[in-house]
Amino acid sequence: MTMEPDHPPHILINALSVSSGGGFTVAREVLHGLATRRPAWTFTLAMTGGSAFHEPMRRESFPANVRFLWAPEGTGRLRSRLVFENFTLVDWCREQKVSAVVQLNGQKPPRLNLPMIAHCQDPVPYLPHVWGRGLPGPAPLRARLGAAMRRRAIRHSLKHAACVGFTSGYLRDLILGWEKVKPARAEVFYNAVPDAWASRDAAAMTSLASRPMEVLTVSDVTPHKRQHLVARAVCALRQERGLESLTYRAVGRVFDERYAESLRQIARDAGTPDAVRIEGRLAGDAVEAAFQRARCFAFMSVCESFGIPPLEALSFGAPVVSSRCCAMPEVLGDAAAFVEPDDEAGLIATLRRVLTDAPHSEELRRRGFERCLRFRWGETCAKMVTSLEEMVSRGR
pLDDT of 126: 96
Asked if 324 and 386 sit in the same domain, the reply is: no
pTM, two decimals, is 0.92
Asked if 346 and 249 sit in the same domain, the reply is: yes
DSSP reduced 3-state for 56: helix
327 with 304: CB under 8 angstroms?
yes
Non-local CB neighbours of 325 within 8 Å, separated by 6+ positions: 301, 302, 303, 304, 341
Non-local CB neighbours of 253 within 8 Å, separated by 6+ positions: 20, 21, 220, 221, 280, 281
Asked if 65 and 163 sit in the same domain, the reply is: yes
What's the CA gap between 195 and 378, in Å, rounded?
A: 6
DSSP state of 254: B
Asked if 224 and 179 sit in the same domain, the reply is: no
Asked if 185 and 201 sit in the same domain, the reply is: no
What's the CA gap between 57 and 50, in Å, rounded?
A: 11
Residues of the chain with pLDDT below 50 are 1-5
Of the candidates 277, 282, 313, 272, the residue with the CA atom closest to the CA atom of residue 296: 313
DSSP reduced 3-state for 45: strand
Q: Is 5 domain-assigned? A: no
What burial letters (b/e) apply to 135-154, b meaning 16+ CB within 10 Å?
eeeebeeebeebbeebbebb
pLDDT of 141: 86
Transcribe 69-108 into DSSP letters. EEE-GGGGSHHHHHHIIIIIHHHHHHHTT--EEEETTS--
Q: Is 1 domain-assigned? A: no
CATH no. for residue 343? 3.40.50.2000
Kind and range of the H or E run holding 171: helix 169-179
Asked if 228 and 241 sit in the same domain, the reply is: yes
Apex 328 CA angle, 323 and 329, nearest 5: 95
Measured CA to CA in angstroms, residue 9 lies from 35, 43, 109, 356 at distances of 11, 9, 21, 55
Asked if 150 and 117 sit in the same domain, the reply is: yes
| CB neighbourhood size of 226 (10 A) | 24
Phi, psi angles (nearest 5°) of residue 211:
-90, 150
| CB neighbourhood size of 10 (10 A) | 19
What's the CA gap between 144 and 11, in Å, rounded?
A: 34
Q: Is 2 domain-assigned? A: no
What's the CA gap between 83 and 164, in Å, rounded?
A: 23
Q: Is 4 domain-assigned? A: no
Asked if 120 and 161 sit in the same domain, the reply is: yes
What's the CA gap between 104 and 182, in Å, rounded?
A: 20
In this predicted model, what pLDDT tens digit does every residue of 313-344 receive, in sequence order?
999 999 999 999 999 999 999 999 999 999 99
Asked if 236 and 307 sit in the same domain, the reply is: yes
Asked if 35 and 66 sit in the same domain, the reply is: yes
Letter for the amino acid at 255? F
Asked if 358 and 385 sit in the same domain, the reply is: no
Q: Is 231 domain-assigned? A: yes
pLDDT of 136: 61
Asked if 129 and 235 sit in the same domain, the reply is: no
pLDDT of 124: 93
Q: Is 234 domain-assigned? A: yes
pLDDT of 266: 97
Letter for the amino acid at 314? L
pLDDT of 137: 64
What's the CA gap between 8 and 97, in Å, rounded?
A: 9
pLDDT of 305: 95
DSSP state of 5: T
351 with 321: CB under 8 angstroms?
yes
Structural domain harbouring 288: 195-372
In this predicted model, what pLDDT tens digit does every residue of 337-392 receive, in sequence order?
999 999 999 999 999 999 999 999 999 999 999 999 999 999 999 999 999 999 99
Terminal alpha carbon distance of the chain: 11
What's the CA gap between 324 and 301, in Å, rounded?
A: 9
What's the CA gap between 6 and 150, in Å, rounded?
A: 37
pLDDT of 2: 42
Total of domains in the chain: 2
